[in-house]
Amino acid sequence: MKLKQVLFAAFATVVLGFNANAQSTAKDLFNSDKQVTYFGIDFTQFRLIGDEAANQDDIVDKQLPAINDLVVNEPKKFKLAEAFKKSRIDTDLEESHAKNRKINADKIKSSKSADFHRLKPEDVAAVVKGYNFGDYKGLGILFVCEAFSKTEKSASYYVTIVDLASKKVLFTERLTGEVGRFGGFGFRNYWAGPVKEIIEDIDKKQYKTWRAKYSGE
């Protein structure tokens, strides 16, 4: 093989390798061909405001995992793929469940209304940095829960888009949802309502807003 051909082959290999490992950008979320994986709800920073009678051990052990599972187990009610304009979104809750199991139940209750606005984007980035996304490629979606406020009858979440190769937060947006949107009884169903409303809000409004903001379309 001639030297020129050897050099060209080496250059092509480097370019292809770089492209295969290239980091995703926020704009890639709006590319229908981009692989996207949903990693569930992270409750590690969450506070329950104004509900002193709540059983915090039951909440951590049973209710939070149940809320996390709902989005995946009831796709007709939590239309995540539709909200993000994808024909398919893969799901893997293993890591978020593992993180949530380590929550100190004694610290989740709060009587401070300011805790409904306690997190900043850098706090979300720190949460994401602690995740192990394994061999997943492309983009990740993680909902980082900030708080449930019984007094406000609302919950706040940071909807977070992650480049899985680098664990870099491409963007994170704070959204709130009202209780009572899921139906049924009990803690799980009461607090599942805001998640459902947030997903519907992404579908109806936020996705279009984000596309204009992050891709210039």
Structure confidence by residue, pLDDT tens digits, 65-117: 999 999 999 999 999 999 999 999 999 999 999 999 999 999 999 999 999 99
Give the number of other Cβ atoms within 10 Å of residue 77's Cβ: 16
| Domain presence at residue 159 | yes
Domain span at residue 91 reads: 24-215
| Domain presence at residue 71 | yes
Mean pLDDT, rounded, for 163-192: 94
| Domain presence at residue 144 | yes
| Domain presence at residue 175 | yes
Q: How confident is the prediction for the chain on average, in pLDDT?
A: 91
Answer whether residue 10 shows pLDDT above 70: no
| C-alpha distance from residue 92 to each of 11, 97, 141, 151 (Å) | 37, 10, 10, 32
| Domain presence at residue 155 | yes
Give the number of other Cβ atoms within 10 Å of residue 111's Cβ: 11
Name the one residue in this structure whose structure tokens are 């492209």. Answer: 19
- What is the tally of structural domains in the chain? 1
The whole-model pTM stands at 0.89
| Domain presence at residue 41 | yes
| Domain presence at residue 79 | yes
Q: How far apart are CA 29 and CA 84, in angstroms?
A: 8
Answer whether residue 9 shows pLDDT above 80: no
| Domain presence at residue 96 | yes
Q: Answer whether 163's CB lies under 8 Å from 139's CB.
A: yes
Q: How confident is the model at residue 2 (pLDDT cuts 50, 70, 90)?
A: low
